[in-house]
Amino acid sequence: MLKLFDKVRAGIEKPSAVPNAVITNRISRLNVSSLKNISPDEAFIVSIQHLQADPLEGRFLLSGRSDGSILLHQIKNISPSLTYQCKRLWKCGKHDKEGHRYSVECIRWFPNDTGLFVSAAFDKRLKIWDTSSMRCVETISYEGKIYNFDLSPAKRSDNCSVAVCCDKGIVSVFDIKSGTNVHTLKHHVGDVLACNWSPLDEHILCTGGADNKVLLWDTRSAKNCLMSLNRSNSIQITISNPCVNNFTAHSGSVNSVKFVKNGLKLISCGTDNVIRLWDTLSGKNELVDYDDFVNHTKRSVHVDISRETTPEFIYVPSGDTVNVYNVATGELVNKLKGHFNSVNCCFYEPFQCELYSGCIDGLIMVWRDESTEVVAF
């Protein structure tokens, strides 16, 4: 650290390297938080399917549960005391008029502000919620169960499209502004379990399905997918007729995909207990080996990446632990042990450098580095 200060003073490193180094240092020492916790408020166990904190200031945490309820917690500690019990601000249960009937599989904030969030569930409905009145403002019905969806990062602030992954191989693109389905992407056979928009180009979408395939799409082209990723790196059959190829990315169903390194690379996790790193432009397998990964979930698994750290880290739920890998080298940096059952999702909250993970046992765990805080007071 002192060396780094010297380097910054001498002009060898940029000043931005200091916060980077501090964040990296903090992240590498994540542990179960003893000061902050989110208590489960039900007497019975309800599995957490997905959770996400709001992208603006990391103050509100949304979580979707397998009984169809959606919960909103305040996670930012604004009181002077160190210990903090996260308050539940709002709940929409199964028996509420506007709520989901079955398991809420995915829930996401609108990327630009906290005025909106979107949720999807196994009751074949996608709901858009207004946070000022906490009401559902729009319900869209689909033909199949919804496993996952993703909101495009929307560089032009008003245009946000939602890619919705349904069963029977259908991915439909929904435009929030006009409130209609604008596109249906059909190539997968079987359930589509994962999708992610590229942060590099707002029209590039990646999907992964139960047919072991990872497909890259350009939503502007009406024809077909851009490419199907091939694990054995043999020559790509050109895009003119990708239907012919039966390249598979994994030997088990793909239940998580995520763009890393600003969209230049792509990570996919499969039920064959393998994580693969791909080059997005060429579609080549980077052949990085991520050790000690277990994945048996038939539904989608939500992974997350760290922000503003010098080696990029990825948080992957693996059995009852959360594994932290170095994206570039595949080195297992940390293994977060604490859950009692298999972990479904994790979310990295960049403002306070915390990790939230949701599990089948109904607990949301907070992982943070508290060694510095205790010393400071």
Residue in 322, 215, 195 with CA at minimum distance from that of residue 256:
195
279 sits near another protein (criterion: CB under 8 A) = no
153 part of the interface to another protein, by CB under 8 A: no
Q: Does 310 participate in binding another protein (rule CB under 8 A)?
A: no
Q: Does 296 bind another protein (CB under 8 A)?
A: no
Q: Select from 105-113, 165-173, 226-234, 354-362 the region that touches another protein (CB under 8 A).
A: 226-234
Instruction: Tell me the closest approach of the beta carbon of residue 261 to another protein, in angstroms.
Output: 16
CA atoms of 172 and 188, how far apart (whole Å): 12
Both tokens of 356, joined, read 């939230």
Of positions 251, 282, 371, 372, contacts another protein by CB under 8 A: 251
- The one among 17, 82, 239, 274 contacting another protein by CB under 8 A: 274
Chain mean position to CA 76: 20
Of 79-87, 141-149, 194-202, 282-290, the window that binds another protein (rule: CB under 8 A) is 282-290
From the list 2, 78, 222, 235, which residue makes contact with another protein (rule: CB under 8 A)?
A: 235
- Residue 339's nearest CA partner among 43, 104, 48, 69 is 48
The Cα–Cα gap between 309 and 304 comes to 13
Q: Output 10 or 235, the one with its CB closest to another protein.
A: 235
- Write the CB contacts of 64 (distance below 8 Å, at least 6 apart in sequence): 48, 49, 50, 51, 70, 103, 104, 105, 106, 107, 119, 121
| List 330, 341, 351, 352, residue binding another protein (CB under 8 A) | 330
234 binds another protein (CB under 8 A): yes
Residue 291 makes contact with another protein by CB under 8 A: yes
82 lines the binding site for another protein (CB under 8 A): no
Contacts of 43 (CB under 8 A, 6+ apart): none
Taking the complex as a whole, the smallest distance from the CB of residue 277 to another protein amounts, in Å, to 9
Q: Is 296 exposed, middle or buried (0-12, 13-18, 19+ CB in 10 A)?
A: exposed
> Which amino acid makes up residue 171?
V
Q: Which three-class secondary structure state does DSSP give residue 2?
A: helix
Question: Residues binding another protein: what is the number (CB under 8 A)?
Answer: 13
Give 222's DSSP letter.
Answer: S
- Kindly list the residues in this chain that would bind another protein in the complex (CB under 8 A): 232-235, 251, 272, 274, 287-289, 291, 329-330
